[in-house]
A and B are shown apart, each in its own frame.
Chain A
């Protein structure tokens, strides 16, 4: 029942975006997120949107996948729109009981929704075009300079690697427990939301116990393979910046300039 979940949401491909160093993409994404808060008018969004869809075009990820990422947050987007629409004073367009829609509120709401959509699409490109493992490797390397001030960069990356590795294993485990409980007459499908939440307890408790057992066995297996922390460790696939990364960095800098410039239009 839960087998077909994909790891992260990686969309395999060989586009220039896929080939970029994960670090470039991580920095680019964070830069893009920050830039979305710099933008203060619709012209800025137009420029950012054009740039974003150009990147999507180059990555050759089908638009269907891009918009699929928006569906789980649709409620939040709708909520943002309604709240912003109703909360602003200004030229009244429509009024009923305690609800007032103003011209300024409408503009404001549209502004916020565009920002939110661009933010979500922008960050989903990172996970769509980067293998989860490359992502953890990139994160480890980016955080490495901070290990001097006590940021456990290697441990964080290893934790993410193991978490990714064990998602399917724990899914199988959950499936097994659910089936075992159902075979003993447990009912997970009827009743109201509280009753259903309560019926999850007999699944969660065994799942916790078995994940501790798995952790113990894994730790032993890692020790048997000489794991002793990040010190003195090498990597088989050292990641390198390529020509493409330099091109991307230049483009990202130009884009940053344009976005800052866009504040002064109108």
Chain B
């Protein structure tokens, strides 16, 4: 999976997003600067995690990446297309799919297969082709047997898999997962994480926004946000080798690394095998 010289797929340049509200005199007033001068590139086929405390701007950043939020200044390019360009907006959104936190509030139709078809229907895909895409997307998330069930009959994890299938049916090159496991039970969380990893293996650029360090750890690169600013950007081993960096962002060490530090093992041990080896 680790290939060098991969093409840049998403590129973010000096992004600034403000949340404003209108005061009593009818003037716009700055409330918070949600994203403050953030720049980074995401390569095609990579698996990137974005972490940070509540209110650090993770979700806002994610919504900028497919043009759901228009920034105040700065640039977002998806495969060379600017999100400012209304003409390419639908093209961008079909290439960059998105899965949200609440499994209930992103399913449009009561019937599983109708919901998965919603995206391609919007794109004006031919009905025969939609059928094919829906079937293959449902098989990819292992929900094909539930295709004619009512969405309200499913568990949270199953609903979230339907939401992933809904994004997949648009045949995206990249999927942004905005805390997809936050409202799930441990079993559902595991299933969804496995699907995310599988999709990345199949070549889909994956951006995972999460609260859980052991999920972030599975990415090949972690971007940390703090108060809307880019706080750290690097490999998980670099980040988790540096306790001060993690605690500075208001985050917690993943359980494994925490164990390592408390057992007094060297910081060079970052994988489960290393730690088991040293503990022996």
A residues near B, CB below 8 A?
7, 132-133, 161-162, 164-165, 168-169, 214, 217-218, 220-228, 232-238
Within the complex, which residue of B104, B107, B113, B163 is in contact with A236, where a contact is CB–CB below 8 Å?
B113
Within the complex, which residue of A214, A218, A233 is in contact with B124, where a contact is CB–CB below 8 Å?
A233
Can you list 20 A-B pairs, Cβ within 8 angstroms, ordered by A?
A: A161-B108, A165-B107, A214-B104, A220-B68, A221-B108, A222-B118, A224-B98, A225-B122, A226-B119, A226-B122, A226-B123, A226-B170, A227-B122, A228-B90, A234-B121, A235-B121, A235-B127, A236-B127, A237-B127, A238-B127
Q: Assuming the A-B contacts A225-B93, A236-B127, are A165 and B121 also in contact, with contact meaning beta carbons closer than 8 angstroms in the complex?
A: no
Number of interface residues of B (CB under 8 A): 41
Q: What is the chain A residue whose CB lies nearest that of B96?
A: A224
Whether B105 and A217, one on each chain, are in contact in the complex, defined by CB atoms closer than 8 angstroms, is yes
User: What residues on B are CB-neighbors of A223 within 8 Å?
Assistant: 68, 93
Q: How many A-B residue pairs have CB under 8 A?
A: 96
- Whether, in the assembled complex, B202 has its beta carbon less than 8 Å from a beta carbon of chain A, the answer is no
- Whether, in the assembled complex, B166 has its beta carbon less than 8 Å from a beta carbon of chain A, the answer is yes
Chain B nearest CB from A129 CB (Å) reads 17
Whether A224 and B68, one on each chain, are in contact in the complex, defined by CB atoms closer than 8 angstroms, is yes
Scan residues 10-58 of chain B and give those whose CB is less than 8 A from a CB of chain A: none
- Complex CA gap A133/B94 in Å reads 25
Main secondary structure of the interface of A (DSSP, over half): helix
Scan residues 67-102 of chain B and give those whose CB is less than 8 A from a CB of chain A: 68, 90, 93-94, 97-98, 100, 102
Within the complex, which residue of A132, A133, A236 is in contact with B134, where a contact is CB–CB below 8 Å?
A236
- Whether, in the assembled complex, B273 has its beta carbon less than 8 Å from a beta carbon of chain A, the answer is no
User: What residues on B are CB-neighbors of A232 within 8 Å?
Assistant: 124
Whether A162 and B124, one on each chain, are in contact in the complex, defined by CB atoms closer than 8 angstroms, is no
- Whether, in the assembled complex, B235 has its beta carbon less than 8 Å from a beta carbon of chain A, the answer is no
User: What residues on B are CB-neighbors of A222 within 8 Å?
Assistant: 108, 118
1/0 per residue B162-180: CB within 8 Å of A? 0100110010000000000
User: What residues on A are CB-neighbors of B63 within 8 Å?
Assistant: 220
